Amino acid sequence: MWLKLLGSIFVIITGTYIGFKLASRCSTRPQHIRQIISCIVSLKSYINYVSMPLPDALVKSTAGTEGPVSVFFRDTAALLEFNGWMNPQQAIKEVLGKMEDKLAIEKPEREILSLLGANLGSMNREEQNKYLNMIQEQLENIEQEAVKTRDQNSKMYKYLGVCGGLAVVILFI
């Protein structure tokens, strides 16, 4: 009897935890996209107005940003600085691969960041500025979609976690 009760409580807690974890990831995605946009805006000004080298600009662009997004830009800068043969696209792909679990971004953001790396540093200032503006606009559109998705799915994940745990308990009892 006690074993069933303990197992039931464990299953409900686990289902709830999974639901809340999914809801948390869904809520974190718009924040990470907003932080990436902020870093890109800073990067744009460091490249266009200060004429700073790319690794230094990537590190400076993270000022005021905490967490995985800051780590992403700093790791990309470190790879570019210490591996002179590596281009920005390769560095971004490598860091994205390492940080897959920590960054709450999905395929569209990954593709945009990969495109950012492909053209970063290969154009003159005016073209680079236009390109970074385009990247910023695309990310802002994706952020709006992520906010809508968060609003729709966050509660659903929480309820599904709790209800899923309860359903499993009912099935086993």
Q: What is the pLDDT along the chain (173 residues), one digit of tens a residue?
A: 888 888 889 999 999 999 999 898 888 989 999 999 999 988 888 888 877 788 888 888 888 888 888 889 899 888 888 887 778 888 888 888 888 888 888 888 888 888 888 877 777 778 888 888 999 999 999 999 999 988 888 889 999 999 999 999 888 87
Q: What burial class does residue 29 get, using C-beta atoms within 10 Å of its C-beta: 0-12 exposed, 13-18 middle, 19+ buried?
A: buried
Predicted local confidence at residue 16, as pLDDT: 93
Predicted local confidence at residue 37, as pLDDT: 92
Q: How many CA atoms lie within 13 A of 77 on its CB side?
A: 19
Residue 15 in tokens: 């289902």
- Owner of token pair 């503006």: 133
Q: Are the CB atoms for 107 and 29 separated by under 8 Å? A: no
Predicted local confidence at residue 60, as pLDDT: 87
Q: Are the CB atoms for 32 and 105 separated by under 8 Å? A: yes
- Angle (CA) 144-145-148 rounded to 5° is 90
Predicted local confidence at residue 128, as pLDDT: 83
List, in sequence order, every beta strand (DSSP E) within the chain: none
Predicted local confidence at residue 18, as pLDDT: 93
Predicted local confidence at residue 53, as pLDDT: 81
Residue 72 in tokens: 């992403």
Q: Are the CB atoms for 40 and 47 separated by under 8 Å? A: no
Predicted local confidence at residue 161, as pLDDT: 92
Q: Are the CB atoms for 109 and 117 separated by under 8 Å? A: no
Predicted local confidence at residue 19, as pLDDT: 92
pTM (global) more than 0.85 = no
